[in-house]
Structures are given as C-alpha cells and as structure tokens.
Amino acid sequence: MTAAMEDYLHGVLSGNRRWIARAITLVESTRADHRDAAQRLLVELTPHAGAARRVGISGVPGAGKSTFIEALGTRLTAAGHRVAVLAVDPSSRRSGGSILGDKTRMARLSADPRAFIRPSPTAGTLGGVAKATREAMVVVEAAGYDVVLVETVGVGQSETAVADMVDTFLLLTLARTGDQLQGIKKGVLELADVIAVNKADGEHETAARRAARELSGALRLLHSDTPVLTCSGLTGAGLDEVWAKVVRHQEGLDLAGKRSRQQVEWTWSLARDRLLTRLRDSAAPVAGEIERQVLDGTLTPSLAADRLLAAFRPEPPSPGGA
C-alpha cells in the first residue's frame, strides 16, 4: 500500500471528516488511476463496513424529505447514533438543479458533529451515481456511522437503484384528495417497506390520517402488509414511530441474506453495464451503417444485432495501441 493510501485508510477509519470526504471524492472519480486507487481503498475498508442500518428515503420533490431527514437525523444523533446522509439523484448538477443531500437544506444536521451529509454525486448516468453512492456507503460505514440514510427523488428508476442498496426502503408521501394510489406509482409501492404520510400537522393532520387509512386499506387489497403511518418532519410528530417501524422491518429480515443477494445482483449489474459499454465502443465504427440498413429495411434487426456482436472486442483498446 502506498503512503497516500495509508493516509486515506487511517483517515477514514479514525472518522476524520476531511479524509472521509476525500475518500468519497476518490470513489466518485471516473479517472482510470483514481478508479484503481478507489478499488484498493475499498478492499481495505470493506471489512470495517456493514454494521450500519441502511435506509432509503424516497418521495416526490416537496414531499418533505430534507425536513424529515433533518428532524429524524437530529433525533438519532441525540440518541447516540452517528448518521450519514447520502443521495442518489442522477439529474443533479453542482451548479443549480436539485442536489439531494445538499447541506444548505439540512442546516442543523450538517452542523451536527455526529452527522455527515454528502450531496448526490453528479456522475451522470444512474448506474454511475448509484455505484458512487454504494461505495460512499462503504466509506461512511468504515468510518463508524451506524445509520446511513440514502435519499432519492420519487421519479424515474433511481428508487429501484436505492432499494437495491439499502435494508429498508421508506416512502414519504402526502395526503392527496382523490384516489391515493393514483398519486403514487405502483412500482414504488412495491418497493416500499414502510410508508409515511408526511406533513401530518395543523390543518393537514386529519386529511393525512384519513389518507394513511385509505392507503393501508388499498395495500391490503393488494395483499401487502406494508405499514402506513403518519408523521410530520416539521413538528417531529410520529418520527419515533416511523423509526420504530424501520427497526422492526430490519429485525424481521434475513439481513445477511438480503445483503448477499444485493451484492451478487450488483456485481452482475456492473458486468452488464461494462459489457454494453465495450460493445458500444467496439461497434462504434460500424454501428451507423448497420442502423442505416435496418432503417432501409435491407437488414433485419436480428441480423443487425449479430453484426454488432461480430464487431465486439472483449478487451478495451490499449492506451497507446492501434
């Protein structure tokens, strides 16, 4: 191990925030030499990771995620936990746009010495962002954070990516008029292990309770026993109950089994991504012509797929080579 790598390792294991941040920057980097260094660091950190509760938190923009995480996180640190907040938001850009986990949205928690908040990586593709967040999870766990909250927006595929990396997936929703299920995509309901109707305070409280009852009834019709609660990130009402359900869900899990399956699934997912990238790279010189023939009708899609595969080179071209 190089001297620099020793610094990273000791820095992270000793819980030094600056080294934790630098290690996450390293795992987020797409530069080839950084990738090698990051993988060597992760090999060293992995035996120290795995002891945290991993909780995904999803909800549409405005559902109150950051307010909720700020309030829940503060309660957890007050109870002696060390809380890391990570995020998966492939649409995020450092300049403008939504940046989940943004510290300015969680002012109190980001000033809490027992909390560590990291905005979503901006690596671009969902696969890239999810990979960086998974690896950041290893870093913060090795640094001693025993609760990892992974925030994601309730749009697109990012929820599935987060559900695949956490033990428990919590969906924050709002009381809506009309059909409860209409406001929430069915796929997301299936991912949720715990559902909380948020903003159950003041004049909204009654509507939130009614919404929770309706949603719970609708879920039972779908043969789901996912618990539905109400809470308010603003007042703190119901937060302890929501957390208790999260803990209860984890107690009922074969956690080791779930995590093993996630690791194997993830391995295949990475392999698929890389295979596809290599295929696209190798077929690039001929792809345009093949696509044109498909559009002309002179080549069937099936034969075209064979041609693309015939151009496949399993190894990436060597840097200085032909």
Scored b (16 or more CB within 10 A) or e, 48-59 reads: bbeebbbbbbbb
Q: Are 23 and 46 in contact (CB under 8 A)?
A: no
* 201 near ligand GDP (CB under 6 A): yes
* 61 near ligand GDP (CB under 6 A): yes
E-strand spans in 75-187?
83-88, 115-117, 147-153, 168-174
| Stretch touching ligand GDP by CB under 6 A, among 107-115, 195-203, 240-248, 272-280 | 195-203
The rounded distance, in Å, linking the Cα atoms of 118 and 144 is 15
Task: Candidates 131, 199, 245, 249: give the one binding ligand GDP (CB under 6 A).
Answer: 199
Task: Candidates 63, 115, 194, 246: give the one binding ligand GDP (CB under 6 A).
Answer: 63
Residue 255: HSE in the Cβ half-sphere, 13 Å Cα cutoff: 15
* 65 near ligand GDP (CB under 6 A): yes
| Stretch touching ligand GDP by CB under 6 A, among 79-87, 155-163, 176-184, 197-205 | 197-205
* 119 near ligand GDP (CB under 6 A): no
- H/E element, 17: helix 17-28
Structure tokens given for 187: 């796929």
Site string for ligand GDP, 67-106 (x = CB under 6 A): x---------------------------------------
CA angle, residues 306, 307, 312, in degrees to nearest 5: 95
Nearer to ligand GDP, 108 or 313 (CB): 108
Task: Candidates 122, 216, 232, 282: give the one binding ligand GDP (CB under 6 A).
Answer: 232
Q: What is the C-alpha end-to-end distance of the chain, expressed in Å? A: 33
* 238 near ligand GDP (CB under 6 A): no
- Contact set with ligand GDP (CB under 6 A): 59, 61-67, 198-199, 201, 232-234
